[in-house]
Homo-oligomer: A and B are copies of this chain.
Amino acid sequence: MPQISKKSSALPASAIRKLAPVSEAAEAAGVKVYHLNVGAPDIKSPECALEAVKAACDRLDHISYSNSAGLMPLRKGLVEKYYKKCGIELDVSEILIDVAGSEAFALAMQVAADPGEEIIVVEPFYTNYNTYAILNDIKLVAVHTNIRNNFDIPGIEEFEKVLTPKTRAVLISNPCNPSGKLFSKEEMIQLGQFCLKHDLFLISDEVYREFCYTEEPHFSAMNLKGLEQHVILVDSVSKRYNLCGVRIGCIASHNKDVIAAALKYAQSRLCPPVLGQYATIGALDTPDSYFAEVREEYIRRRDVTIKALNEIPGVFAPTPLGAFYAVAELPIDDAGEFAKWLLTDFRYNNETVQLTPATAFYADKTIKNQVRIAYVLEVPELEKAMKCIAEALKVYPGRTN
């Protein structure tokens, strides 16, 4: 019997998705599971998005390939209707439509670094960065941010410390999945100066741009002066329009070599999903009121979540300023064990909660008592989920204090 490759054997299963079978088993047994584990919001997509798909299905008699870089009306529309409004100036030639943010950051990483080279990330970081790093034999080197310090970015000397001759890029997500950290303009300028000084790419994953809960507008890496050749923007429509399943994102850069290289990768997969591209073309007409309402809803959800968490004895959760995740420190021995136990052993009124252990978001493997909570449910559901967590912590056998 032929053996699968060593690379495949060594690849870790998704930390976010690997509890799915246990969770499905609980649901099959009639248990209500509150899914706080995946950033899959329950909020409606803008109607114009789904209407555009239906119109395309009426107009077209077959669904053919698009250009590998995406449909021109989509690229033009993004530049003129969306990025301009965000204060991001782009030419159509500087944008490449991708199979969601996942492909976008995978391409950005491969364009920036060769096998054996290094990319600096701020930890905690989105766990799939690590998967693509492993697949491409790129080493992620982490700069730590501390939950007790609101996940603020440390001084630039911490980045200098981990810099090596093999460093090719800094990769951030802003607002950050999982911490909810929002980078200030000053922090961005500092990071930019570091990249400029050492000739590094700055890969800025801004897929949660619409989810900022401060008065100041989001400051995009694309607006860093003097870094036009350094910045690679990673974006996605998944969260922005609640279209996670359409699998449309993009990379953008003023650096022509970056886009030309990314296009070669993109050609090998022929084209991004065309029905999703039509959904996105439609979504570009989403009224501003949609974003305002969604933002208010998430602020409500966040506030309920954070308040409830911090009222539980032994729990600490700083208030996130962006995205729709919170990282919480729990009085537990091991977040992986706890998350599994919730699904296999714990029931409160025949309900339980699915969480994601934050372990996979850290390079520092000593951090075992944090979980990521995606506050993507309606407030009454979130309240019940928080109650479940509080009750669970009363009886969890691995409780530490």
Contacts and interface: CB of A to CB of B under 8 A. Distances in A.
Interface in A1-52: 1-9, 11-14, 16-18, 20, 38, 40-45, 50-51
A277 B263 CA distance: 25
Interface in A256-282: 257-258, 261-265, 267-276, 279
Interface stretch (A79-87, A110-118, A183-191, A325-333): A110-118
B267 A13 contact: yes
Given A4-B111, A57-B50, A244-B64, A14 B273 contact: no
Interface in A63-91: 63-68
A135 interface: yes
Contacts of A247: 99, 247, 270-274
A111 B271 contact: no
A50 to B, nearest CB: 4
Name which of A7, A42, A61, A68 has the most chain B CB atoms within 10 A of its CB.
Answer: A7
A206 to B, nearest CB: 18
Given A274-B245, A275-B273, A61 B38 contact: no
| Chain A interface size range | 35 or more
A286 interface: no
Contacts of A132: 268
A102 B270 contact: yes
Contact of A245 (B54, B64, B199, B261): B64
A116 to B, nearest CB: 10
A229 interface: yes
Given A245-B275, A247-B271, A114 B7 contact: yes
Contact of A14 (B8, B66, B258, B267): B267
